[in-house]
Amino acid sequence: MVPRLVAERSHARDLVLCGQAGSVSDAALVALVLGVDHDAVGRGVIERHPIPDGLWRLSAEDLVCYDGVGPAGAARLLGCLELSRRASIRATEPHPYVTRAEDVVRLCASQFRGADREHFWALALNTRNQLIRIVEVSVGSLNASIVHPRELFKEAVRLSAASVVAVHNHPSGDPTPSGADIQLTRRLVKAGDVLGIEVLDHVIIGESGDHSSLKELGLM
């Protein structure tokens, strides 16, 4: 192993351990997580997958193409990115009120940015329409989300939610609800009626943050 390259990684690691991660370059941080010995790989990753949206689209297949990056390093970086997503979700203000579609967009749009598949979430709310938790229900394909009402309401019941708001993204960027979206929403409403958990809305978010509300469209 070349001493200079070892020194690069050791320097970045020492700064992180000393609480000075903010002074480490993006490229060096990526290289450190990947476990490679020089920043050039980190720079290559960032140049091809710019922060933030490019990194969200990274796959293991993308990463193992780089010299010195194996499955373990790819898994570490992808795991860090997932933790970042989760931290962003949980860093929202404590129990924010969710009373309109714009509140849903504010809470969720940044987490969907760059996603190449449909993610279906549920916002579990208390009796005052305050957020209890955002629950990931399923991850679908490029243009479809696979959701069963049972999965959504299982979590809502566990959290003692009084109501829920369904939300998912359209990676195409067009938030117009599909026929399948409308049918699913009506199934969720019926299931919620049986369980005593009201489905307040189903919000669809496009890539740029544009959105549609099935409640506002009269499609509930």
Nearest residue to 46 (alpha-carbon basis) of 37, 55, 38: 55
Model confidence at 2, pLDDT cuts 50, 70, 90, reads very low
CATH number for the 3-89 domain, one of 3.30.450, 1.20.58, 1.10.150, 1.10.1660? 1.10.150
Residue 8 pLDDT grade (very low, low, confident, very high; cuts 50, 70, 90): low
Return the pLDDT at 3. Answer: 42
21 pLDDT higher than 90: no
Q: Into which CATH architecture does domain 94-213 fall?
A: 3-Layer(aba) Sandwich (3.40)
Residues 6+ apart with CB under 8 A from 19: none
| Angstrom distance (rounded) from CA 106 to CA 129 | 15
Whether 14 shows a pLDDT value over 60: the answer reads yes
> What is the Cβ-side half-sphere exposure of residue 139, based on CA atoms within 13 angstroms?
4
For 24-38, 54-68, 135-149, which range has the lowest pLDDT when averaged over its residues?
135-149
Per residue in 78-116, pLDDT tens? 888 888 877 766 655 568 999 999 999 999 998 888 788
Asked if residue 149 lies in contact with residue 188, where contact means CB atoms within 8 angstroms, the answer is yes
Contact assessment for residue 107 and residue 134, using Cβ atoms and an 8 Å cutoff: yes
- Structural domain boundaries of the chain? 3-89, 94-213
Instruction: Say how far apart CA 117 and CA 197 lie, in whole Å.
Output: 28
What pLDDT was estimated at residue 160?
96
Q: Mean pLDDT over residues 191-215, rounded?
A: 95
Q: How far apart are CA 101 and CA 214, in angstroms?
A: 9
**pLDDT for res 120:** 95
Confidence of residue 1 (pLDDT cuts 50, 70, 90): very low
pLDDT computed for residue 183 by the predictor:
95
Higher pLDDT, 209 or 159: 159
Q: Could you tell me if 41 and 34 are in contact, meaning their C-beta atoms sit under 8 angstroms apart?
A: yes
Confidence of residue 190 (pLDDT cuts 50, 70, 90): very high
